[in-house]
Amino acid sequence: MAIATSASQLSSSTAPEPAPRVELNGPVPDFEANTTHGPIKLSDWQRGRWVILFSHPADFTPVCTTEFVEFAERFGEFDRRNVALLGSSVDSVYAHIAWIRNIEEKFSVKIRFPVIADLDQHVSRLYGMIHEPSSVTAPVRCVFFIDPKMTLRAMIYYPLNVGRNIDEVLRVVDALQTADANGVACPANWTPGEDVILPAPVTYDAAVERAGSKQLQVTDWYLARRHL
């Protein structure tokens, strides 16, 4: 005897599983992928470093090319901060190689970081890089700041037609590393060498003490700065 199946039952049984969410201060998903430097597993490849995982919509596109040139020229600045760069797009490894060779020839820079060949969109879907209102196939311009413990510390999304500011990417790295090392926060427009913000007091007595401090730059009990 045939068993009737409702439309809602059929829909729920055949609908694809939702992609996992990557969330600030949560663990990032590990993955294995083929890259221009050979196969990698993120957790093994990371080797105790910070990682900037960034996506680009497609190879041989003008905005992406300018970004790759900038990342290449600033590679040493990331390396000095113990930050490894890892690019990704849904093009093949052969397309990546051809594009990298073209960039190196036309702009006289060396692309020293691997680029993931995410043909099946596994990494793109895992990290939420595909935003279908923008494109059903191409990733938007994502930047994921991953610390050595595989924790997502910051993320920035740019549309397809706006290139990233590499100074801002470096500034966020500096801010995160400064905050971690000193137990402080970084104010708006902060750059290395400027004053940092102390955590606000959480008791009345501590607030009174903070408001009367002569060692700090105190605006009020909840806002105090100091120089590192």
Q: Which residues are catalytic?
A: 64
Chain CA centroid to CA 228, Å: 26
For 124, the 3-state DSSP assignment is helix
Contact in structure between 50 and 143 (CB atoms under 8 Å): no
The C-alpha atoms of residue 78 and residue 75 are separated, in whole angstroms, by: 5
Which residue's structure tokens are 């279908």? 132
Contact in structure between 217 and 226 (CB atoms under 8 Å): yes
Instruction: Report the candidate in 80, 77, 87, 22 with the shortest Cα–Cα distance to residue 52.
Output: 87
Q: How far is CA 85 from CA 13, 16, 78, 120, in A?
A: 39, 31, 8, 21
Q: Which residues fall within 8 angstroms of residue 81, CB to CB, at 6 or more apart?
A: 50, 170, 173, 174, 177
Amino acid symbol at 148: P
Q: At what angle do helices 62-73 and 166-182 cross, to 10 degrees?
A: 50
